[in-house]
Structure 1
């Protein structure tokens, strides 16, 4: 039985992909990250599953459906960039996500936010269906733009300055959008774009 590299996430609207692709093109010559994501691969990860036997895909899709039947659809917008890893050699450059409610930031703890609730509920259904164990660390939604700094031109201050400088040169930042689906992605190593969308299941509570 073939194993598939799978993860669950939120696909982005095309205008958000285009904007981030343009912003990445502006920053790419000025930063020393080794690998930049293809715009078609931009997404917000919900859960990374890893290598999964192909015959478990129907169970995964059912876990998604169980979640989609009850989850509230998050309202999202782009936020400031950031990085994971040490200042001298960050591992990941990302664009942040802000969650909105009636065009205003959600107040309170992350547990109160629909996006964090969607992540938690999906993890519970995956555990019930396939025995998946969600990560214990705090969920930090983001969109990966680049990986593996190869030199000294990846400082957080440099990234912020470039991001701010690019504002107004690459089109207006997209406004908020509503998450409408949970997507099952398959990762293909050694190709670009790398991610295949195997299934997208709509959230039902769209009122």
Structure 2
């Protein structure tokens, strides 16, 4: 069976990506063992779908379109830096959302509800919109320095992006990392 790993996400502007890369350059000075996200791969995930068939892609696209059109377009601001599970034990480093958080969560929920009608159950975890910028590959003594740098840049601002459409991406793992291909769009109402 031919399947593709897919997810639904919101793109961010080139300016946000540029500023995020500038922050990554500063955080990388910690020498912690982190796999930093390439600017071309920066996005805010709305729903991870896993492996789906080409036939399922059509249903997913339609569900995403129904969910997205129920929400008006809006602007959101990327800012603040943090980590999952927390800043003292970072595994995933992210930029948060300082404006448009509620609208973003509303959009994610509307899309998730539509996906649930076609067999993609909503996750039990509370949705936390964020822009992942790095993942710790191996814990080391440099993580302490990384935590200090995260604290120093807690008020970081990456800028504003418009939320006008949710994108459906196929993800293919290559030697250099994941490659994302846009396979569908769902415009907001």
Give the CA deviation at 1:89.
4.5
How far apart in 2 are the matches of 1:5 and 1:61? 14
Q: Is 28-37 or 1-10 further displaced after alignment?
A: 28-37
How far apart in 1 are the matches of 2:55 and 2:13? 30
1:13 paired to 2:13: yes
1:141 paired to 2:129: yes
Contiguous gaps of at least 5 residues in structure 1: 101-105, 107-112, 168-172
How far apart in 2 are the matches of 1:87 and 1:70? 35
Q: 1:194 aligns with which of 170, 179, 182?
A: 179
**How many residues align structurally?**
185
Partner of 1:170: none
Q: Is 69-78 or 131-140 further displaced after alignment?
A: 69-78
- SS of the residue 1:8 aligns to: strand
Contiguous gaps of at least 5 residues in structure 2: none
For residues 19-168 of structure 1, the aligned pairs below 5 Å read 19-85=19-85, 89-100=89-100, 113-128=102-117, 130-148=118-136, 149-155=138-144, 156-161=147-152, 163=153
Change (3 A) 1:181 1:87: closer
What TM-score results when the alignment is normalised by the length of structure 2?
Answer: 0.87
What TM-score results when the alignment is normalised by the length of structure 1?
Answer: 0.80
Q: 1:49-74: per-residue Cα shift (whole Å, max 9, x none)?
A: 11112220000110111122211223
CA RMSD of aligned residues (A): 2.2
How far apart in 2 are the matches of 1:198 and 1:177? 21
Q: 1:108-128: per-residue Cα shift (whole Å, max 9, x none)?
A: xxxxx2111111110110111
